[in-house]
Amino acid sequence: MSDQVIRQWNEAAKAYYSLPGLFEFYDLYKVFLPIYRKNREYFYDWCEIGSIYGAPQDCLWGGGRVGFGDASPEDVKALTDEYGISAHLTFSNSLLREEHLSDKRCNALCKLFEHGAAENGTVAQGTAENGTASRGALQNGIIVTSDLLLDYIRKNYPEFYFISSTTKVLTNPEDLSAELSREEFRYVVPDFRLNKAFGFWDGLPSEQKRKVEFLCNECCWFSCYDRKNCYENVSRKSLGEDCEDHVCVSPTAGDGYRFSEAMKNPGFIGIEDIKNVYIPAGFDQFKIEGRSLGSAVILEMLLYYMVKPEHQLKVREAVYLDSMLDLF
């Protein structure tokens, strides 16, 4: 980015993280969030938790990753309400049809999460831009791919805000510009391969920059030509269709996800990038992937992105020594 853009640093600006595993890593967050609240000095002052995203196992509207979260929805909502963190339901199935909209379980999730916490118990009002608590109010969001589902939820559960899913695989800047112009979406998650397209990002108006949510730590092969088919395979499995597993075309597919390898990806966004490039240029939304990983790996990501190096061991010990948490 240009020196002129870099100089637009605003000391009050912050990064808001969208963290993985709303249902999948409930037990981890139940331990981690009290540390975050009690020992805020351990954490960077330039970042906050804006939201936690995910979906329970066997969720018909789910997509992106095959969900395995088995935490009680009521417990999950109580936790995010308590800490003033926006819950993002990952309803990014791209293959939904009209008959799927009446699914009882997914509609029950919408009814439960539609109204965030408010001091007087009413519908949340005056919510901050990132969805977190403002004047005692909290608003939750839906990550969506299907316009059919988007229209249905907007009509029946109007208190949600919406995030355009990265499963749309928006790699063309013109398509991304059109998506950012859609008023239905508060945030849009572009394909990670556009993360370093600085010529495009520099040209966005400030109001659209605030809508971009960058996927920071994708480990997918940067040259992948089959990403959309991978996501569609997950959508079919969520619908209960009998289909074969998608075969990843990456040359290193057999190695699985490794955070150390993700850091080498050309699209990787690290903490120095966030602090010194993206925030000064007017971007403040950053998504961390990892719903299909283990709690121990997620903890390492949280430590890297949020905790000062001199305090990482303290946080790691506090989490590891909690007798109620099985990290592996």
Averaged pLDDT for residues 218-224: 67
pLDDT at 257: 75
Q: Given pLDDT bands bounded at 50, 70 and 90, which one contains residue 199?
A: very high
Q: Which of 20, 235, 80 is nearest to 149 (CA)?
A: 235
CA–CA separation, 132 vs 139, rounded Å?
7
| pLDDT at 124 (0 to 100) | 42
Return the pLDDT at 326: 65
pLDDT number for residue 319: 94
User: What mean pLDDT is predicted for residues 171-186?
Assistant: 95
* pLDDT greater than 50 at residue 135: no
Of 168, 162, 214, the C-alpha closest to 186 is 162
Residue 252 has what pLDDT?
67
**pLDDT greater than 50 at residue 36:** yes
What type of residue sits at position 2? S
What confidence score (pLDDT) does residue 5 get? Answer: 45
In angstroms, how far is CA 7 from the centroid of its own chain?
A: 28
The C-alpha atoms of residue 162 and residue 167 are separated, in whole angstroms, by 14
Which residues have C-beta within 8 Å of that of residue 54, sequence separation ≥ 6? 20, 21, 22, 23, 24, 25, 67, 69, 88, 89, 90, 291
Q: Token pair for residue 166?
A: 């990265």
Q: pLDDT of 109-120, one tens digit each?
A: 999 999 987 643
* Residue 29 pLDDT: 96
What is the arithmetic mean of pLDDT over 124-128?
41
Please, what's the b/e burial string for 167-181 (b: 16 or more CB within 10 A of its CB; e: otherwise)? bbbbeebeebeebbe
Q: How many CB atoms lie within 10 A of CB 150?
A: 18
Q: What tokens were used for 55?
A: 């979906």
Which residue did the predictor score with more confidence, 321 or 35? 35
Dist. CA 273–CA 304, nearest whole Å: 13
pLDDT band at 108 (very low <50, low <70, confident <90, very high): very high
* Confidence band of 122 (pLDDT split at 50, 70, 90): very low
For residue 247, what are the contacts with CB-CB under 8 A and spacing of at least 6? none
Quote the pLDDT of residue 323. Answer: 57
Mean pLDDT of 104-128: 71
Q: What is the mean pLDDT of the chain?
A: 85
Domain boundaries, the chain: 3-320
Q: Is the pLDDT of residue 67 over 90?
A: no
221 pLDDT higher than 70:
no
Point out which residues pair with 54 in neighbouring strands.
89
Beta-carbon contacts of 261 under 8 Å, excluding residues fewer than 6 positions away, are: 219, 252, 255
Beta bridge partners of 18: 51, 287
Query: Among 188, 262, 259, 168, which Cα is nearest to 221's?
Result: 262
Considering only residues 262 and 144, tell me which one the structure prediction assigns the higher pLDDT: 144
Instruction: Choose the weakest-confidence range: 94-108, 170-184, 192-206, 288-302.
Output: 288-302
Question: Bigger pLDDT: 279 or 221?
Answer: 279
More confident residue, 312 or 133: 312
Mean pLDDT, to the nearest integer, of 85-93?
A: 95
Three-state SS letters, the chain: CCHHHHCCCCCCCCEEEEEECCCCCHHHHHHHHHHHHHCHHHECCCEEEEEEEECECCCCCCCCCCCCECCCHHHHHHHHHHCCCEEEEEECCCCCCHHHHHCHHHHHHHHHHCCCCECCCCCCCCCCCCCCCECCECCCEEEECCHHHHHHHHHHCCCCEEEECHHHCCCCHHHHHHHHCCCCCCEECCCHHHCCCHHHHHCCCHHHHCCEEEECCCCCCCCCCCHHHHHHHHHHHHCCCCCCCCCCCCCCHHHCCCHHHHCCCCCCCCHHHHHHHHCCCCCCEEECCCCCCCHHHHHHHHHHHHECHHHHHHHHHHHHCCCCCCCC
Calculate the alpha carbon distances from 80 to 12, 22, 29, 171, 314 in Å.
25, 9, 9, 32, 24
| pLDDT score, position 80 | 97
Q: How confident is the model at residue 11 (pLDDT cuts 50, 70, 90)?
A: low
More confident residue, 293 or 231: 293
Percent of the chain with pLDDT strictly greater than 70: 78
Least confident of 76-85, 99-108, 135-144: 135-144
Percent of the chain with pLDDT over 90: 62
Which class in CATH covers the domain with range 3-320?
A: alpha beta
